[in-house]
Each structure stands twice: as structure tokens, then as C-alpha cells.
Amino acid sequence: MNRKKLVLLSLLMLVVAAGAALSVQANEPAIKDVILATTTSTQDSGLLDVLIPIFEKDTGYKVKTIAVGTGQALALGERGEADVLLVHAPDSEKPLVESGVCINRQLVMHNDFIIVGPAKDPAKIKGMRSAAEAFRKIAETKSLFVSRGDNSGTHKMELNIWKSLSITPASAWYQETGSGMGQTLNVASYKHGYTLTDRATYLALKKNLDLDILVEGDRILLNIYHVMQVNPAKFPKVNGPGGAAFVSFMVSKSTQEIIGKFGLDQFGQPLFFPDAGKKVEDL
């Protein structure tokens, strides 16, 4: 091959390489970082450890996860300090949607809350079908109850149950951790107290806890998760395309299948039930 052909071939290879590079760049998101504000329960359960790497590989985005109580996650959204929210306090989520702070709210999955406590069960609540009546017995017997006390979705559920009983727990038998679900379970276990927890976090940490499931199955203990974007029209710094991509990912068929199988191998039961496309009233 003469010198002229070698030069032409080299130029052609450079053009092909440049075109490939431009194609890759064109497919990459302009802003890669996506800030996800979510709950400690999704983090502690291990679900996000499975889902986020898949999302990042499929889309090119990089997720920065802030795992806090739902109240704090919603507050981050309200200030435009997150791009997308994955939370489980429907009554507290709706005002953000109604005000336009959040958009594209989608049902993702559910599990349930359970009341756990020591095997000795001093309040004798084991097997009760009513969560409210179990709470009443705990209060009447002044048995130790450990609350998250952090304005999370779990804490909101707990407070709603006390409110339904017209009980304001504030005595020595009622203690707040101000911490996430995992830490609160550890405290309840160490102090031989009762607590309200989502089932997923309890099962994920069960082997290290001296706590049994005592009350479950009450309809009011349904634990429903939604994903929603923070509105980029209200907060120019919000990564709108990134938030939209994460919402689409969470409700996609492949992700829903992963959610439905998560926990089966390790616990013999799924930790969450996929709900994309369903209505809350049908759960």
C-alpha cells in the first residue's frame, strides 16, 4: 500500500472514531447527577442496592441517594434540593402534587407495617388483628414502645394510630430515637421494647434482632410507595430529564419484575409487591 493510501486510510479511521465518540456523547445525559431523596426503609432493605446500578448502567445517569425519613425527603423536594422522590406517606405527598412542587407521581409498590416486640410480649398483643387495639394494650400496660420520632412515613403511621385512640404517648414507657428504621429496630431489640416497622427492613435485619412479629394483617398497616419528580418548572436547577428517567425506570416492566422477586431467595418471600399501573384502592 502506497503512502497516499495509508494517509487516506488513517484519515478515514479518524473520522470513524470521531463519529463514534460523538454518537456516545449524544446518547449521554447533559447533566449526569440525579439526586434521589428516599426513605431509610428502601435503603435498609437493600432494594436500592440492586436497582440503582441497573438504572445507572441503562441510562448513563449517576444517582446520589439521600436516605432520610419521608418527611425530610418531602421537605427536600419542597425546597428543590432533590430531583426525584421515592416515599411512602400518601397523605403528605398529595399537597406537594396539588401545589405543583411535584409532578409525574406514580404508584410503584407496597408492603406492610408490622408491630414487633420481645418474645415475652408483656402487653400480650401477639395475634391481635387490630393494630389500634394492640397500641392501646401497650399504653395501658405501660410497656416500652420505641418510636422513630423522625417525621418519617413510619412515624406518621404510628402517630395516626395513637391519634385514633385519643392517646398522646409521652410517659417514660414511650421513647423516641429520632433515627431511621434500622437503628430504631436495634434500640427496640436491645431494650426489649415494641415498635412499628415496615416488613422489608425487619426481614432484612431480622437475624440480628431479638424481636418477633406480633401483630400483622390490619388493613390500616398497608405501606404504599410512590415515585415523583420535583418540578423543574418551579426549580430551574432540578434535573428534569434525570428525574423523569428515574420515574420511568421504577414503573417499567423489567424493574417491576425485579421488585416482585426481591427477597425471595434470601427470605422465602418478597419484601415488596409491584404495583405500577394499579390503583391504590385496588391494593
What rounded mean pLDDT belongs to the chain? 90
pLDDT at 2: 53
Closest among 138, 171, 176 to 154, alpha carbons compared: 176
Share of the chain above pLDDT 70, in %: 90
Tens-digit pLDDT profile for residues 127-138: 999 999 999 999
Task: Please give the CATH architecture assigned to the domain spanning 112-221.
Answer: 3-Layer(aba) Sandwich (3.40)
* Average pLDDT of the segment spanning 37-59: 93
In angstroms, rounded to a whole number, what is the distance separating the alpha carbons of residues 60 and 42?
22
pLDDT at 273: 94
User: Does residue 280 register a pLDDT over 50?
Assistant: yes
pLDDT at 116: 98
pLDDT at 281: 83
pLDDT at 24: 38
* Average pLDDT of the segment spanning 96-105: 97
Tens-digit pLDDT profile for residues 164-198: 999 999 889 999 999 989 999 999 999 999 999 99
Tens-digit pLDDT profile for residues 204-239: 899 999 999 999 999 999 999 999 999 999 999 999
In angstroms, rounded to a whole number, what is the distance separating the alpha carbons of residues 90 and 223?
9
Domain ranges of the chain: 33-111+224-282, 112-221
* Domain 33-111+224-282, CATH class in plain words: alpha beta
Same fold, 33-111+224-282 and 112-221: yes
Grid coordinates belonging to 149: 420520632
For residue 83, how many C-alpha atoms fall within 13 Å in the half-sphere facing its CB?
Answer: 22
In angstroms, rounded to a whole number, what is the distance separating the alpha carbons of residues 267 and 238?
38
